[in-house]
Amino acid sequence: MTGQTQLPPLREVIAAHGLSASKALGQNFLFDEQLLARIAAIPGTLKDRPVLEVGPGPGGLTRALLRAGARVTAIEMDRRCLPALAELAEAFPGQLTVIEGDALKLDHAALFAEPWAIVANLPYNVGTALFTGWLSGEAWPPAWSSLTLMFQLEVANRIVAEPGTDAYGRLAVLAQWRSKPKLAMKVHRSAFTPPPKVMSAIVHVEPAEAPAGVSARMLERVTEAAFGQRRKMLRQSLKGLPGALDALATLGIDPARRAETLSVDEFVAVARELTA
């Protein structure tokens, strides 16, 4: 029974393989197996489901996903971690495939034949770059079924932010216009080894229906212009975008408003007006 597979404590795995955390690779490891099991439960039942884990490191979250019955494909760029991950693959026969490489450079879709859940505890810059990549593009629904990702709490707050707040910006619109992001769990800095300077949180995103007649690229252009000068009125920030001021007039949106006051639906409506 996979759920009962006995494994050595993670601290022993780290010591046995000499895995000192590398600052350059943004390594902050999680060792609390109860916490890891709770994170692995966020996407819902994973029994026999394909999961992409990015940055497994010594394999703490990986073992929680494997115990939940997932079929895990893990991408790790630190080859020092590979022997520890190979031991995990042996303990869960047929459930774990490890790919050595940079997740930012790999074609994830080529790794799966059916929709896959994505779960990751990543360094901040890599996580945000992958997140925006997974959420962009014209094709929707995406080939993945959900995203469950650790972020700095401040970034997580920006993803789920509501209009009118300081945290509300491009990331909120990108994350909310055709998916449902939720702040699933806050994680205290002391849960990590070594502890990072700031608090973290897990965001869970499920794709929703995309509004009709809106190009993703156009929405990106509108939000880029509007939030590029977020303190300015829309009549100023959008004036370089052809047709944008006419779109505001058609929609009855006051051009004296600022970007942070527009709802996600209003951004979508502006982008729809501009989508040929």
Give which of 77, 144, 141 is closest to 108, Cα–Cα: 144
Name the site residues for ligand SAM (rule: CB under 6 A): 25-30, 54-57, 60-61, 75-78, 81, 102-104, 121-123, 126
- Cβ(106)–Cβ(44) below 8 Å: no
Helix, strand or coil, per DSSP, at residue 233 = strand
Q: Output the six-digit token pair for 132.
A: 């925006």
Residue 43 burial by Cβ neighbours in a 10 Å radius (0-12, 13-18, 19+): buried
Shortest spacing between CB 110 and ligand SAM, in angstroms: 16
CA distances 240 to 3, 243, 261, Å, are: 57, 9, 20
- Enter the tokens of residue 94: 């047929």
Question: Cα 133 to the chain's mean position, in Å?
Answer: 9
238 labeled binding residue: no
**Minimal distance in Å, beta carbon 268 to ligand SAM?**
31
Paired residues of 182 in beta bridges = 204
Token pair recorded at residue 96: 């774990």
User: Cβ closer to ligand SAM: 36 or 269?
Assistant: 36
CA dihedral 186, 81, 144, 5 (to 10 degrees): -80
Nearest distance, CB of residue 76 and ligand SAM, angstroms: 5
The answer to whether 30 is annotated as binding is yes
The reply, when asked if residue 55 is annotated as ligand binding, is yes
For ligand SAM, give the closer residue by CB, 81 or 247. 81
| Residue nearer to ligand SAM on the CB measure, 72 or 173 | 72
Q: Measure the CA–CA gap between 109 and 231, rounded to whole angstroms.
A: 39
User: Does 76 appear as a known binding residue?
Assistant: yes
Q: Which is nearer to ligand SAM, 25 or 233 (CB)?
A: 25
- Nearest approach in angstroms of CB 102 to ligand SAM is 4
Q: Catalogue the long-range contacts made by 238-243 (C-beta closer than 8 Å, 24 or more residues apart).
A: 241/274, 243/273, 243/274
Q: How far is the CB of 106 from ligand SAM (least distance, A)?
A: 8
125 in a known ligand binding site: no
Is 265 flagged in the annotation as binding? Answer: no
- Residue among 19 and 269 whose Cβ is closer to ligand SAM: 19
The answer to whether 270 touches 251, Cβ cutoff 8 Å, is: yes
Q: Closest distance between ligand SAM and the C-beta of residue 127, in Å? A: 9
- What residue is closest to ligand SAM based on CB? 55
Looking at the Cβ atoms of 74 and 270, the one nearer to ligand SAM is 74
- Which residue numbers belong to the known binding site? 28, 30, 55, 76, 102, 121
- Which residue numbers belong to the known binding site for S-adenosyl-L-methionine? 28, 30, 55, 76, 102, 121
